Structure 1
Amino acid sequence: MAKKPGQTQAGTSIQQVKQQNQQASAGKAGQQQYGAEFGSETDAQEVKARNAKSAQNKQQASSNNQQQQ
């Protein structure tokens, strides 16, 4: 099976793949900005407080389970 110029052996258009790759690269820059947008809306202090409370609750639950046994 002879391949056509500008195509792979499987018949894929090389130019089309290059174009899709360029679009995907351009999209990655936008995704980084998108992620940073939500990162700036996160209150780090609130997250730390919630994590500390969660850890405290786990510790209490663990000690309650040990007392019951």
Structure 2
Amino acid sequence: MDKQQQQNQQQASKTNPQQVKKQNQASAQGNSYNTEFASETNAQEVRQQNAQSAARKKQASSNQQQQ
């Protein structure tokens, strides 16, 4: 077995099977708010960015119509 395979096995052994099961169950129920990704996402910031993007698109569209 080479070093890369040994490292992969060591990393795999650090996985918490209980946490994986918990996340899988939450995902199966459609409850993704318990996942790490969701906890790192700032929903308010995403809404603000979406609003800014929509405003820029609207402005660009109106600028094209005027030309």
TM-score, normalized by length of structure 2?
0.51
Query: Aligned match of 1:30 in 20, 36, 39?
Result: 20
| Higher RCO (CA 8 Å, separation ≥ 6 residues) | 2
Report the number of matched residues.
41
Q: Tell me the TM-score normalized by structure 1.
A: 0.50
Cross-structure match for 1:46: 45
Runs of 4 or more consecutive aligned structure 1 residues displaced over 4 Å after TM superposition: none
The gaps in structure 1 that reach 5 residues or longer are 1-26
More helix by percentage: 2
Which protein has the larger Cα radius of gyration, Structure 1 or Structure 2?
1
Give, as a single letter, the amino acid of the residue that structure 1 aligns with 2:40.
E
Overall identity of the aligned pairs, in %: 56
What are the ranges of 5 or more consecutive residues in structure 2 without an aligned counterpart? Answer: 1-16, 25-31
Note the aligned Cα RMSD (angstroms): 2.7
Once the two structures are superposed, the pairs formed by residues 1-69 of structure 1 within 5 Å of their partners are: 30=20, 33=23, 36-68=35-67
